[in-house]
Amino acid sequence: MRAGNPLNDAPDGILAARAADGDTRAFEALMNRHGSLMRVYAAKILGSTAEADDVVQDVFIQAWRQLDRLADPTAVRSWLMRMVGNRSIERIRRRKDLVNIDDWDAPVASHETPERIVEIRLQMGELAAVVAGLPAGQRQCWVLRELGGISYADIAEELDVPISTVRGQLARARRRIIQEMEAWR
């Protein structure tokens, strides 16, 4: 399936440099390589795979326009992941206009139903299921910090909440995950 294109074996830095010069085949190879990771990352922040598809496509279109401004082409993966984080937050903020802030931390805000969580547990393992079961605010803060490596200050700014809220959400998320991962105790 991936045979035939020698670019599939090229290092990220080479692909990003070529794409910045306008080589769509190199860009295609980058999408092939990193698209899936970006999508599952977005899905974890958003709690929705349908929206994750949109985010990843938007990010790649934006990346194509901005690649020539990427100072270090070898860091293209973290650059893309960073954009996925930002785009996903944008969507959450748009949603939040519709949702009462008081509901943010409510367990019912979790996207996944109990049946779905059992299913995830079987398919993906315990950690994924526990993460999917977190309240939305906790899940977002945890994913952005732990998987995206984004600073408290940046998460707070993007989500438009105080830093103390982010810290609190993150601590609660970590606590809850560790408590629920029985095998770790």
Partner 1 sequence: MTPEPPGPLESEPERLLDGLDPEDLDGHTIEELGDYLDDGREPRDPGIEDSPGCQIALDALVRLRAESWAMLEVEALADRDRDQSWIQNVIANISRESRPGRDIPVRHPDPATRLHITEGAVRGLVRAAGDGTQGSLVGRVELAGDVTVPAQPITVTVTASVPFGPNLVVLAQLVRERIVEALRTHTELNVIAVNVAIENVHAPGTAKDGR
Binding mask 20-59 for partner 1 (x = CB under 8 A): xxxxx--xx--xxx-xxx-xxx--x--------x--xx--
Restricted to residues 113-132, the positions that interact with partner 1 (CB under 8 A) are 124-125, 127-128, 131
Applying CB under 8 A, does 146 fall inside the site for partner 1? yes
The three state secondary structure string of the chain is: CCCCCHHHHCCHHHHHHHHHCCCHHHHHHHHHHHHHHHHHHHHHHHCCHHHHHHHHHHHHHHHHHHHHHCCCHHHHHHHHHHHHHHHHHHHHHHHHCCCCHHHCCCHHHCCCCHHHHHHHHHHHCHHHHHHHCCCHHHHHHHHHHHHCCCCHHHHHHHHCCCHHHHHHHHHHHHHHHHHHCHHHC
Task: List CB contacts of 135: < 8 A, sequence separation 6 or more.
Answer: 104, 105, 106, 107, 109, 110
Per CB under 8 A, the segment of 6-14, 88-96, 99-107, 133-141 that binds partner 1 is 6-14
Applying CB under 8 A, does 89 fall inside the site for partner 1? no
Applying CB under 8 A, does 184 fall inside the site for partner 1? yes
Binding mask 58-87 for partner 1 (x = CB under 8 A): --xx--xx--x----xxx-xx---------
Applying CB under 8 A, does 139 fall inside the site for partner 1? no
Binding residue for partner 1 (CB under 8 A) from 17, 46, 84, 159? 17
Applying CB under 8 A, does 136 fall inside the site for partner 1? no
Distance in angstroms (rounded) separating the CA atoms of residues 170 and 166:
6
Applying CB under 8 A, does 153 fall inside the site for partner 1? no
Min separation Cβ 78 and partner 1, Å? 8
Min separation Cβ 46 and partner 1, Å? 14
Min separation Cβ 159 and partner 1, Å? 17
